[in-house]
Amino acid sequence: MDILDSLELSTIFNHIPNPVFIKNEHLQFIFINKAYESMFNVKMKQILGKTVLDLDYIPEQDRVFYQKEDMEVLLHGKTKHHIFNYLYKGQEMHTCLYWSSGFVQKNGMRGLIGVIVDINKQSKKIHELHNELRTINVEKDEVIKKSKLDPLTHLYTRAAFDEALPKLAAPGSDGFSCIMFDIDHFKRVNDTFGHIAGDTVLKAVASLLKEHSRERDIVCRYGGEEFIMLLPGVKVDRAIMVAERIRRCIQKHVYLPDGQCVTISAGCSAYITGEPGTAVVQRADKALYMAKDSGRNSVCAIEGV
């Protein structure tokens, strides 16, 4: 063997814990180390003089791939690496890093050396870490989702509203309208019938708000007994119609334990190009107070500054 011109070199390779093989210019094996023998449960005398195409312990499709790639590595002196699954000692699949490199001897003869590194434990650990990361991301998304949903009414929270508002007022948007609702005399409901009855009213109102909204609308529990709706692409006249329809529906379908109907007041406004989203909310809030001052159970609107 010209390539292994000393016993010491063979001894060195046999002390390497990773499988090592060397091929000649015909891609025939001329050396495998002890680690290679152990990994594939073979002896060097069984392998010498053979090409990878003759090795029945490697899947045929992989053999063809290795032979083709080894030829390219041999001819061009390249170094290549891949990750493959090998049948370790004929018993179980191991994920391994395989790399090979072509070389030229002083006498001009070409050859190829390859090393196989068993990364099965690392691969499993990486897979476990990926699964843990996916689980963490799912849990994180769930936490974020819960933080944006009011636990009582299942509407969006004030935090979700504050996140959505600037996006609707961003340059190039289609504009939007805002409706702010307030349940009339809600403090009396809690004081007279208790907080359980108050919660029932809140949930009933929230359900009707959701029922009368589109999928793209943003319906939030703004705080306490206040609710707010953001209607993308909707003008103020349309918002007034929506608010009025909701007002009538709540008066008709939501009742207190003593049979009295629940009523709401609403204030509407629409986005003016170039202004911050908070300006729209401020006008809706002013319009809401106008509705309250006019006797409640009504809808008012402020269209401009």
Which residues carry out catalysis?
225
End-to-end CA distance of the chain: 93
Query: In angstroms, what CA-CA distances link 61 with 3, 44, 52, 219, 289?
Result: 29, 23, 11, 58, 77
Gap between the Cα atoms of 297 and 277, Å rounded: 26
Report the SS3 class of residue 11.
helix
Cα–Cα distance, 223 to 303 (Å, whole number)? 24
| Gap between the Cα atoms of 97 and 262, Å rounded | 71
* Residue 50 CA, distance from chain mean position: 49
For residue 305, the SS3 value is coil
Phi, psi of 14 (to 5 degrees): -70, -15
Distance CA 225, CA 229 (A): 14
Helix extents (H) in the chain: 7-14, 34-40, 44-47, 60-76, 120-147, 158-168, 186-193, 195-211, 236-253, 277-293
